[in-house]
Amino acid sequence: MTRPVAVITGASAGVGLAAARALLGHGWRVIATGRNPDRCAAAEAELAASAEPGQLAFLRADLALLGEARRLAREIAALTDRVHLLANNAGGMTDAFRTTAEGLEENIAGNFLGPWVLTEALLPLLRAAAPGSAPGTVRIINTSSDGSEFIPGINHADLQNLADWNPGTAYCTGKLANVLHARALAGRLAADGIVAHAFHPGTVDSNFFSHVPDTTRAYTDGLAKISLDEGADTLVWLATSEEAGRSSGGYWHMRAPREPNPVVNDPAVITAFVAATERLVATIPD
């Protein structure tokens, strides 16, 4: 039997690594990606120890750079002619304002714009997988956060929050964008039989907190944290369960629907959000 193919970003550590390990155990072929060379090498060695020959590939890319996202998509297309799961899991929070080498604010670039570009570039492979797959089994899963619920919405005229930047708003904007992205994809890809969801993994005991501002760390140090496997559980469930394939555009936590930020339910917001994203991405040509 041909193995289903999963692309998992941010798989060099944390939730992404745990999800890659789980899907390999389910018999999937996994194309994992990461940014840090040392972490990628360590994760690849760990995963390869339990993978069968040809079951795992590990690619490096910094998804905060749109050019890297496009290159990554080309490398994936050289490895497979179809993708059954795209897990847009890579992300993080900066402790200060930074711009990428392409001139984009780092939070929105890494948490959302890079994944948006990668998704667009991989749609032909996802669409190629759908006709030969059971309905609803080809899926796009965006790792979001309950931070998506903490802001009133997104400024479509300033997705990067350049006029009033702070790290909390920047991170929450990217995570809300992940949920809006899944909702937009659900409507767009319904005719293709492709499902899209976003989820909040919970407060996971991972290296995420090594890069956050001191104020964020002071707050999160007092929170109970779940294990990496627990944090990855909903991602793996959304990728493999029959129930997750019966709907699209949802926002999930602990395998259950979770009420998203109210703006996610407004079609006009979705339309404006997509248009604003397309304008911003177009400023960084291939």
| pLDDT > 70: percent of the chain | 93
> Which sequence spans correspond to the domains of the chain?
5-281
Angle in degrees, CA 119, 122, 125, rounded to 5: 140
Letter string b/e over residues 50-81, b meaning 16 or more CB atoms within 10 A of that residue's CB: ebeeebbbbbbbbbbbbbbbbebbeebeeebe
Q: Which residues are designated catalytic?
A: 171
Look at residue 127 in the predicted model and tell me its pLDDT. 98
Q: Is residue 217 pLDDT above 90, yes or no?
A: no
Q: Is residue 209 pLDDT above 60, yes or no?
A: no
According to DSSP, the residues that pair with 204 across neighbouring strands are 226
Q: How many residues does the chain have?
A: 286
Compute the distance between CA of residue 56 and CA of residue 29 in angstroms, rounded to an integer.
6
Fold of 5-281: Rossmann fold (3.40.50)
Give the pLDDT confidence of 240-286 residue by residue, as tens digits: 999 999 999 999 999 999 999 999 999 999 999 999 999 999 999 98
